[in-house]
Structures are given as C-alpha cells and as structure tokens.
C-alpha cells in the first residue's frame, strides 16, 4: 500500500506492507484524511530521527477486514479514526499512556490503516466522507478546550486569536451553537468577512491594538493556540476572574507576561490537549444535535502531498485540509 512516510529527514510517498488484522484489530480503507499542523510539527521536530513513521491523525474509511475477536464493527461500515490512543474516560489531565495517531505510531496517511476496534467510531450519517475525514483531531481538541476546560456558558464572550485554523473554526461554530458571543482575529484582512460568515460576532486583525478595540467588551474566556506572539496580549484583554485556555504554541513555546497583573486580576490559566474517547463521543453527539458541518477548505490527492504541506504552511486556509486516497 502507498503511504506518506517521514524518515531520514524527508517526507516521501512510500510503498509499505499491508498487514492482516489480528484479534481486536480493524483494517480500514482510507477515503479521506485530514492534514493538521501537528503533521507539520512532527516533520520539523523529528529531523534527526531515521525510523520511518506514517504521518496523519485524522481519517474516515470503510472497514475492509476485521480480526477474529472484533465485536463492535463489521466489514463495510464507514468509520472515523479516534486520534487519541489509550485515553478512554474524561479526566482533568491526559494519562501518561496517551499517544496520538501519527507519531510515534503509524498514522492515517496511507491507503489502509490498522488499529484496535476501540479507536474507531461510526461516521455520523449526515456528514459526507470529505467532512468526516477532517473531523476528529481538530473538533475533539476544540470541544475539550471550549467545554471541558473553558466551561463556556451561553451568553458569555469568548476571544479566539487566530480564527482560521481547523481547531479555531470548530471553536467558533461550537461557541455560537450554545449561544456565546465570539471575537476572533486573523493576520489577513481578506479572512475577516469569512470568519464572520461562519459565526464570529467581531473580527480584528492580529496587528490591531486589541486592548483599545475591545475596551467595551467583557471577555469571559480566551482560547489561545498561538503562544509567544499573543499570550500576553490575550491575558491583557481577559476580564478579572476570567479563564485563559491554551493548547498550542505555533509561534514559540516560551511566553512572558505580567504576573502581578495576573494574580491581582485573579485570572486562571488552563492547559489542554486533544481529548478522551468519552469526549470524542460527546462531541459527535453535540455536532449531530446542532447539525454542525466541518469546513473543508481544500482537498488534495495524496500524491500531491508536497503541495498540501506547503499550502498549510502558508496558512492560506480557513478550516480544514484533506487528502483523498481511495475515492
């Protein structure tokens, strides 16, 4: 089978063996797989590692073969991949055993994907395969950040710097679904109207003076995934007693902020990452209840993976990017 493999400081399209499922394992013929910033991060951070790894954390596909002990599924069913392994129940922190599909274990950017049956869920019937292929990683991350950690309530205001990413677009849509007010930003002026089109109430440029522009707003919660470039600015616009949730650092891991102002304002900083199987199932029920559709910005053939990675690296998209494999 063909797969997008990272090894020896480069990413290539590689022919791999197609192992047969054993025991509780399920083999899925991949239809669509979502490309995420995590895939860029893995490529950049494992430059010294030579062991090959199939990239990719998201996918939807059709079950083609099952192991002899499988009880949850049957051949021919359409399923989505759970990107978080060994994290079953919703807990305050992820277990030490947590692994995310695509590194260190093989991921979904291949014609076939093999995994234990407990790490698949049936595809919501109302979603297209294209939509389902970009769902789990970003939407699960957004769901835990907004609700489990952020505890966002109807009528509150949430500020989401960098609104055009896959995770951020889900957060905007989720927040609006429960009746929250949403403020977001973009570095690109042409994206501001598009972000309003998916639900944002207020949009700002990243280069704007946020404190001045938001002086009349009461921001209950900030969800920041950018890191060093925005962290101190995010805290500065957060109300006294407000919550700041962080799950990413696309600029830099190390941040600085005014700690005295922080404790005087009695604000709370919360870290989060991905989510449990319990939260994945809750998220699937949530999107079905509100009939939420993922935003698919662009679809690439897996053979055009280099162009897809470049497109994501340039932050041209609003929403999600997908690879198509067997359709």
pLDDT digits (tens, 9 = 90+) for 77-99: 999 999 999 999 999 999 999 99
The neighbouring-strand residues paired with 205 are: 186
The residues facing 80 across adjacent strands are 60, 121
How does DSSP classify residue 19? P
What is the pTM assigned to this prediction?
0.94
Domains plus CATH for the chain?
Answer: 2-135+294-324 (3.90.180.10), 140-271 (3.40.50.720)
Asked if residue 258 has a cis previous peptide bond (ω within 30° of 0), the answer is no
Judge whether residue 230 has pLDDT over 80: no
Does residue 196 register a pLDDT over 70?
A: yes
Alpha-carbon distance 288 to 168, whole Å? 19
Distance, CA of 286 to CA of 113 (rounded, Å): 27
Least Cα distance to 204 among 174, 227, 178, 182 occurs for 182
- Whole-number Cα distances in Å, 76 to 17, 53, 61, 62, 81: 22, 27, 9, 6, 15
Q: Give the 3-state secondary structure of residue 96.
A: coil
**Is the pLDDT confidence value at 250 over 70?**
no
What pairing do the DSSP bridges indicate for beta strands 53-54 and 2-7?
antiparallel
Sheet with 181-186: list strands edge to edge.
202-205, 181-186, 157-160, 219-224, 238-246, 268-271
CA–CA separation, 211 vs 230, rounded Å? 12
User: What strand order describes the sheet that includes 53-54?
Assistant: 10-15, 2-7, 53-54
Question: From the centroid of its chain, how far is CA 86?
Answer: 18
Pairwise CA distance, residues 190 & 270, whole Å = 31
Mutual orientation of helices 277-290 and 136-143 as an angle, nearest 10°? 90
Q: Which two tokens stand for residue 60?
A: 């939807």
**Averaged over 237-262, what is the pLDDT?**
84
Span 61-88, mean pLDDT? 98
Reading the block at residue 28, the tokens are: 């899925």
Q: What is the pLDDT of residue 242?
A: 98
Mean pLDDT to the nearest integer, 290-306: 97
pLDDT tens per residue across span 201-210: 999 999 999 9
What is the average per-residue pLDDT within 282-300? 97
Residue 160 is given by DSSP the state E
pLDDT band of residue 47 (cuts 50, 70, 90) is low
What is the average per-residue pLDDT within 230-257?
84
Comparing C-alpha atoms, which of 307, 279, 291 is closest to residue 4? 307
* Rounded mean pLDDT, 57-79: 98
């Amino acid at each position: 089978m063909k797969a997008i493999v990272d090894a020896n400081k480069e990413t290539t399209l590689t022919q791999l063996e197609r192992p047969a499922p054993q025991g509780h394992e399920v083999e899925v013929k991949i239809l669509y797989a979502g490309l995420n910033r995590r895939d860029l991060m893995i490529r950049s951070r494992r430059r010294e590692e030579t062991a090959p790894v199939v990239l990719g954390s998201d996918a939807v596909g059709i079950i083609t073969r099952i192991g002899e002990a499988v009880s949850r599924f049957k051949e021919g069913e359409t399923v989505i991949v759970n990107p978080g392994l060994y994290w079953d129940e919703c807990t305050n922190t992820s277990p030490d055993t947590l692994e995310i599909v695509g590194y260190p274990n093989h991921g979904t950017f291949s014609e076939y994907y093999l995994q234990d049956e407990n790490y698949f869920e049936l595809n919501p019937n109302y979603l297209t395969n294209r939509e389902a292929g970009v769902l789990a990683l970003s939407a699960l991350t957004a769901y835990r950040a907004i609700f489990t950690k952020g505890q966002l309530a109807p009528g509150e205001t949430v500020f989401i710097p960098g609104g055009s990413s896959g995770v951020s677009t889900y957060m905007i849509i989720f927040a609006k679904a429960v009746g929250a007010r949403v403020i977001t930003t973009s570095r690109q002026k042409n994206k501001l109207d598009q972000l309003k089109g998916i639900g944002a109430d207020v949009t700002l440029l990243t280069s704007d003076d946020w404190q001045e522009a938001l002086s009349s707003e009461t921001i209950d919660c900030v969800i920041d995934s950018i890191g060093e470039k925005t962290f101190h600015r995010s805290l500065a616009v957060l109300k006294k007693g407000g919550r700041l949730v962080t799950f990413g650092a696309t600029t830099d891991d190390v941040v600085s902020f005014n700690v005295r102002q922080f404790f005087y304002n009695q604000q709370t900083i919360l870290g989060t990452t991905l989510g449990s199987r319990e939260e994945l199932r809750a998220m699937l029920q949530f999107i079905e209840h509100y009939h939420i559709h993922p935003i698919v910005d662009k679809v690439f053939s897996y053979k055009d993976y280099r162009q897809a990675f470049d497109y994501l690296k340039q932050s041209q998209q609003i929403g999600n990017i997908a690879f198509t494999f067997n359709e």
